[in-house]
Structure 1
Amino acid sequence: MDDVNPTRRSEIMGRVRSRDTVPEMLVRRLTHGMGYRYRLHAKDLPGKPDLVFRTRRKVIFVHGCFWHRHPSCHLARTPKSRQEFWLAKFEANRQRDLKNEKALREENWSVLIIWECELADVCKLKNRIKEFLDAQC
């Protein structure tokens, strides 16, 4: 059972953003600080990737573990109330992510997914971003 009344829950959920989230802003600051330049949320690309490196034909998505269902992550818990609704929503999100990633790869874009929980280890994340962006494909 939900501990919050429906009106308050609606307010809380209404504040959930799809862009400029805290995890996304951290990745943007980190990447920019490493000297890489990018565009944001390209509407002409499938899924509107969070960071777009056009000359490299590479994109980065910053996924929240809860919304995008990071496998075996403690942040990807399922709410106890309205489980049928949530499971359907999470599955739709997952399928949309897979479809967008496939479409980008078919257009010869390289895709990196950064999960919210990976932000804890900044050194490891920096290395991962550097390897991805500097790799010749």
Structure 2
Amino acid sequence: MDTLTKAQRSERMARIRSKDTAPELAVRQALFALGYRYQLHRQDLPGKPDLVFPSRKKVVFVHGCFWHAHAGCSIANMPKSRTEFWQAKFQRNVERDKVNKRALRRMGWSTLTVWECEIKHTDRLVRRVTNYLGPKGAKKNKGRSS
């Protein structure tokens, strides 16, 4: 049973953003400080990736662990009420993510997913993303997909 009224729950849910989230801003800030330049939320690409590196044909998705059901993550807890609704919601999100990544790969793009829980380990995160993107000055670098 929900402890909030329908109006209170609606107000809280309305405050949740899909763009410019704290984890996304942290990744953007770190990469910009390293000299990487990117485009944001390209509408013409499947899934509207958070960061797009057109000359490298690479994209980075910054996923919230809760909303994208990050397996084995302590942040990705199942709500105690309306579990059937939430299970279906999370499954749709995970499936949509797979479909979008597949479509991007077919278009010749490489993808990387950064999880919200990875943001607190800045050194590891920077190493992982820069390994994926390649040197700052490099263009059209072939990278692995994850």
Q: CA deviation at 1:5?
A: 1.8
Q: CA deviation at 1:3?
A: 2.0
Asked if 1:103 is matched to 2:135, the reply is no
Report the TM-score when normalising by structure 1: 0.97
Give matches, 1:1-137, under 5 Å: 1-134=1-134, 136-137=141-142
Q: CA deviation at 1:104?
A: 0.5
Q: CA deviation at 1:108?
A: 1.1
Paired AA for residue 90 in structure 2: F
Q: CA deviation at 1:56?
A: 0.3
**Greater than 4 Å deviation, 4+ residue runs:** none
Q: CA RMSD in A?
A: 0.9
Report the TM-score when normalising by structure 2: 0.91
Aligned partners of 1:116, 1:96: CA distance in 2, in Å? 18
3-state DSSP of counterpart to 1:67: coil
Structure 2: state its 5+ residue gaps: 136-140
Answer 1 or 2: which has greater helix percent: 1
Structure 1: state its 5+ residue gaps: none
3-state DSSP of counterpart to 1:66: coil
1:86-127 per-position Cα deviation (integer Å, ceiling 9, x unaligned) = 111110001000000010011111101000000010000000
Paired AA for residue 13 in structure 1: M
Aligned partners of 1:15, 1:120: CA distance in 2, in Å? 23
3-state DSSP of counterpart to 2:25: helix
Aligned partners of 1:24, 1:92: CA distance in 2, in Å? 22
Aligned partners of 2:7, 2:42: CA distance in 1, in Å? 34
Paired AA for residue 90 in structure 1: F
Question: Which position in structure 1 is the counterpart of 2:138?
Answer: none
